Chain A
Amino acid sequence: MSEKRPVNLDIGSIRLPITAWVSIAHRASGVFLFVATAFLVWALDASLRSAESFAALQQLLTGPVAKVVLWAISAGLIYHSLAGVRHLVMDFGIAESMPGGVLSARIVIGLTVVLTLLAGWWIW
């Protein structure tokens, strides 16, 4: 490996634009979903194992703690999906400019808030 490869800027010394926050949050939500997958696979297991475990899962998911967990995972999924679609759109050469990136970042945040509230309304 060449020692002359470019090194990333020291992000700690830079005031971050909205595009950077959207990028960091995309990563953070991805790490969160990696952990949350354990809960999702466990829930899929319980839902298919037997009629009794399905009923027990249904009962559990009516509890307040489970609802908060579900809402948090929904928020993570919503945000990560929208920010991921933003990447896909940019891969097609759309909104690659700075104003375009700022606008799509705002759209992602706005849509996340709306959809997360809707998800909360659906869960409760």
Chain B
Amino acid sequence: MKKLVLVSTVAAALFMAGCSSKSPEVDMSADANKAGQQGAMSDAERLNSLQAQVQNVYFDFDKFNIRPDMQSRINQNASIFNQAGNFKIMIEGNCDEWGSDEYNYALGVKRAKAGKDALIAQGIAADRIEITSNGESKPVCTDKTKDCDAQNRRDEFRLLP
């Protein structure tokens, strides 16, 4: 009886939280704790699967407008985010190493904001998107080349559970 109450409580909680678009299906013979863990893993796996398809958007030197050749990446990301309506989105603006100061962090904010506005234009709800700036603190490349600098001038899009 206790097990039945526990399983029912978990099922009700999942339904109320709206963690999945599907109706909760409860296996009455399964262990309640194990069932909960499997559900969480499923969400995590789904998030990871979608996240792997998300692409960075790159910017020109000292600029924060979305380049025409990056618009297809915005469109593709928007399509992925539309499939993941229950996940929030964090956009992190990044800069190359030139200008280790507040201006670089503000430029990162502008780049993240440009990514946010572009996603909103593709139908993503504004309240799902948060932005932040890493300035130059999270380079993906540290070689002293212009190609390396170009890889660091980017927006990264992260799905949040």
Q: Do A and B come from one complex?
A: no
